[in-house]
Amino acid sequence: MSAGPTPDTPMPLEGLRVVDLSSVFAGPHCARYLADFGADVIKVERPGGDTVRNMGWRDSDGGTLWWRLVNRNKRCVTLDLKASDDLALLQRLLAVADVLVENFRPGKLEALGLVPDELIEANPKLVIVRLTGFGQDGPYRDRPGFATLAEAMSGFASMNGEADGAPLLPPVALTDEIAGLAGAFAALAAVRSGVGQVVDVNLLESMSQVMGPLMTAWHTEGYLQPRLGSGIPYSVPRGTYQASDGGWLAVSTSSDSVAARVMAMIGVGDDERFTTFEGRMAHRAELDTAMAEWVCQRTLAEAVAAFDEAQAAAAPVLDMSQLSDDPHATARGVFVEVDGLVQQNVVARLSATPGRVRWTGRPEGADNACLAGVEDAGRSGADPWPEPSMRS
């Protein structure tokens, strides 16, 4: 049996050259997912730095926690793309890059003199990932590209919240993460094709992907999903229920066999109203009440143990402090400490060539020295891509 991977095991995207011109979240997430698996990502910032350097919580060194996360595993350089020398330097890098990630408003890249067709003509393998709010065309193309707009317009907010409450937006950067993953996936699909091309990814369509068959349901059934709190229309009971000690239990009954075991456990297994998906959906309020009464008569630990014994699906609602100490998260290495900061580990596990977090987001211009030889290399005809710095 061969030994498992070590910290020196090559990562699957080593040798993939990525220029990250994007800012804030969705674009940087896209490039970060590539960097986590070994891509050599050069993060290009304008003088003064990316907005995220000043957004949110700060660490003891004065950097923001957002910056440390979304720009980890990248080399950081500063270029003024309004200056002809810096723009020419960037063009030389792009001439030998594999991927460019940008999230300017449509037309801004071209206004800088970086016309996609011309970049691909100079480098026929170049994949240009363009992340925007609404895409490169269409009547909304010039609207600001913020996740909040996508969450509002995708249908998500309209069905999120309590039945008698206001539509709710997610309390995390949900759409940016989804769009970042979509962008990274699409970038690798395009690289695999071997054909230089533009990849058009936007926040609205990325968020629409998680709506399941709801658009189909509207067109075929005239169905519009209402706000159901933590419920969903096709799985009852499904929600959060408070235990006697104040803790909260999340319950799912998305398979008929699991639902049957839960019905028996809470004492309504013989009630014909609850023996089918359709019956449970039709009697949602009664079943939710029965579920809530069963949970509130037990401590959270007792309720979890009962569900485990019944081989049914439930879990405690954890906050960050509780998840940090959770034995499963600890055993799996869900979080990793790097540069004195605890962050989520890479998003997927590869058994032979895993990705890893090598360093967190770097100080502004930390890797400007790596560009020192680019101009000379460009004149001599040598490969202008800088050698990666040696970091553990």
Identify the CATH number of the domain in which residue 48 sits: 3.40.50.10540
Q: Is residue 240 part of a domain?
A: no
Same domain, 78 and 174: yes
Total domains, the chain: 2
Distance, in Å, from the CA atom of 280 to the CA atom of 232, rounded to the nearest integer, reads 12
| Contact (CB, 8 A) for 136 and 130 | yes
Q: Is residue 242 part of a domain?
A: no
Same domain, 292 and 157: no
> What pLDDT is stored for residue 1 in this prediction?
41
Same domain, 262 and 367: no
Range of the domain at 278: 248-316
Binned at pLDDT 50, 70 and 90, residue 389 comes out as low
Please confirm, yes or no, whether 176 is among the known catalytic residues.
yes
pLDDT in tens, 195-247: 999 999 999 999 999 999 999 999 999 999 999 999 998 899 999 999 999 99
Q: Is residue 228 part of a domain?
A: no
Q: Is residue 7 part of a domain?
A: no
> What pLDDT is stored for residue 100 in this prediction?
98
Annotated catalytic residue, options 36, 86, 176, 367 = 176
Same domain, 50 and 180: yes
Distance, in Å, from the CA atom of 235 to the CA atom of 284, rounded to the nearest integer, reads 9
Same domain, 28 and 145: yes
Among the candidates 316, 342, 361, a domain finishes at: 316
Q: Is residue 191 part of a domain?
A: yes
User: φ, ψ for residue 219 (rounded to 5)?
Assistant: -75, -30
> What pLDDT is stored for residue 5 in this prediction?
81
Q: Is residue 217 part of a domain?
A: no
pLDDT in tens, 164-200: 999 999 999 999 999 999 999 999 999 999 999 999 9
* Amino acid identity, position 318: L
Q: Is residue 127 part of a domain?
A: yes
| Contact (CB, 8 A) for 41 and 97 | no
- Reported pTM: 0.93
Among the candidates 316, 346, 361, a domain finishes at: 316
Same domain, 80 and 49: yes
Same domain, 157 and 32: yes
